[in-house]
Amino acid sequence: MRIMRVEKTLVSTNRIAEMGHRPLLVVQEKEGGTRSVAVDAVGCIPGDWVICVGSSAAREAAGSKDYPSDLTIIGIIDNWAPA
C-alpha cells in the first residue's frame, strides 16, 4: 500500500454512473509529486496521511467487487513524519 497525503476534494460532474457518490480525493506521495485520485472509504480531511490500496483490492475496499477504483483510501495513519 502507498502512503499518501490528502490534498483536496475532486469534483467531476460528468462521470460514469458506477462511481456513485463516493468522495474522490486528490492525493500525493510527496509535496510536488504526481497527484493521483483516490476513493475515500474512511472519511478523510485535507492534510491527513493515509494508506492507499491499489490493484484489484481497491475495488472491494471501495464498496463492491464492481466499483471502478484502482486506488482506495483504507486507513488514516495516526502519526506520520514524512522523510
Handedness of CA 37, 40, 46, 51 (dihedral sign): negative
Alpha carbon distance 61, 72 (integer Å): 7
Provide the 8-state DSSP code for 17. Answer: G
- Shortest gap between Cβ of 60 and a second copy (angstroms)? 6
Binding mask 6-35 for a second copy (x = CB under 8 A): ----xxxxxxx-xx----x-x--x--x-xx
Footprint on this chain of a second copy (rule: CB under 8 A): 1-3, 10-16, 18-19, 24, 26, 29, 32, 34-38, 41-43, 51, 53-61, 66-72, 74-79, 83
